[in-house]
Structure 1
Amino acid sequence: MKLYTAPRAPNPRRVAMFMAEKGIEIELQAVDLGKGEHRSESYLALNPFGRVPALELDDGRILCETRAICSYLEGLYPAPNLMGEGAEERAFIEMADRRMELHLFAIAANSIRHGHPGFASLENPQFPEFGASQGDKFRENARWLDGVLAAQPFVAGQRFTIADITAFCAMEFARGLMKFRPSDAGLSHLQAWRDRMLERPSASAGT
């Protein structure tokens, strides 16, 4: 297999962290976003939406979308389990992961892509007012997550799962480009969780 990825990009970082937690090693092919390689004819033939990551399977088929790639790898490498054992746990972990993806990760991306001048070439046209409103929504949802983590040690409950990976990568994305620090907003539970996540060896994967 071959994984098309981009160092420091948030979605590839999610897959890299997932792989690191499982000890998976796959051939990597870097895609330079700054040079527009994700928009090249050769890459668009792999993923017509021009997004990373993309996983080329041994039979030549291309699997895209971060969650789908992680699901495939979970099936191939079931231990340690990161997506749930049994229908009930899988459903609740997926719910938590989707919430992190939709209500933190995607909203941070919208805020950054429409509000950060460095992304003007990637998001053209930018809508700064929309970006600002998404930043406000991100901070509102981070406060909600702080409340969740006041009652349990991990995003989906009592153990580390893919939902923590998605949330951590979202928070680090926001930390770097939105200058968001949970402690600055009085979100002590979220800050403590983030600091615990940073101690995991997988936290440096994809950076």
Structure 2
Amino acid sequence: MRLHTTRRAPNPRRVHMFLAEKGLEIETVEVALDGVANRSGELLARSPFGRVPVLEFDDGRCLGETRAICAWIEGHHPEPNLMGSDVDERAFIEMHDRRAEFHLLLPIANWIRHGHPGLAPLEQPQFPDFATAQAGKLREFAQVFDAELATRPWWAGDRFSIADITAFCAIEFVRGLMRWQPGEQGLPNLQAWRDRVAARPSAKAGM
């Protein structure tokens, strides 16, 4: 079994962090996201959109999409639990994880892909006005998350979960490439939560 991945990108980092929380190691294959290597026939045979992460099984099957990979890992290695211990907790963790994907990671990715010159090989054409609009959406959504984190220590409740991993990898992505810091945006609860996650050993995975 091998994990096709790339360092620093948020979705592969989510899987690396998930594995680290489980105390697991998987053989990795590094893919350069340069607009060339990730469009090669070799990767496209495993991932039709040329994207990572992809978990390749020994029988040749390939599992793409970050949350699907994490669900497979959780099913085979249920402890420590990161996706919910019963149907109620699973539903609420998934809700918060989806919100982190759609209202945090997605606008961040759009802002960076259309606004950072280093991402031009991956996003042609880039639309600077769209990037500016997505940066505004990020500020809008981040204010909602900051208010919610005033009422609980972790993204989905009283304990660390996959939702924290998704949100953290999103924040670190924009922090690294756009120098966007929650504390500097007047979001103290989001900053304090980010710092709590950053103190975990798993936070260094996938860097």
Confirm or deny a common fold (TM above 0.5): yes
Per the TM alignment, residue 60 of structure 1 is displaced from its structure 2 partner at its CA by: 1.3
Question: In structure 1, what is the Cα distance between the partners aligned to 2:148 and 2:87?
Answer: 22
Aligned residue type for 1:91: A
Question: In structure 2, what is the Cα distance between the partners aligned to 1:70 and 1:125?
Answer: 32
Per the TM alignment, residue 34 of structure 1 is displaced from its structure 2 partner at its CA by: 2.8
Per the TM alignment, residue 140 of structure 1 is displaced from its structure 2 partner at its CA by: 1.1
Residues 12-62 of structure 1 deviation map (CA, whole Å, 9 limit, x = unaligned) = 000000000001111111111137211111110110100000001232100
1:31 aligns to 2:27 (yes or no) = no
Question: In structure 2, what is the Cα distance between the partners aligned to 1:34 and 1:128?
Answer: 20
1:16 aligns to 2:16 (yes or no) = yes
Question: In structure 1, what is the Cα distance between the partners aligned to 2:109 and 2:115?
Answer: 10
Q: 5 Å matches for 1:130-169?
A: 130-169=130-169
- Pair 34,143 (structure 1): closer, same or farther in 2 beyond 3 Å: same
> Who is 2:113 aligned against?
113
> Who is 2:129 aligned against?
129
Gaps of 5+ in 2: none
TM-score (norm 1): 0.98
> Who is 2:178 aligned against?
178
Q: Name the SS of the counterpart of 2:55 in structure 1.
A: strand
Q: Name the SS of the counterpart of 1:193 in structure 2.
A: helix
Where has structure 1 moved over 6 Å in runs of 4 or more? none
> Who is 1:7 aligned against?
7
Per the TM alignment, residue 143 of structure 1 is displaced from its structure 2 partner at its CA by: 1.0
TM-score (norm 2): 0.98
Question: In structure 1, what is the Cα distance between the partners aligned to 2:117 and 2:35?
Answer: 17
> Who is 1:197 aligned against?
197
Question: In structure 2, what is the Cα distance between the partners aligned to 1:141 and 1:177?
Answer: 19
Per the TM alignment, residue 127 of structure 1 is displaced from its structure 2 partner at its CA by: 0.7
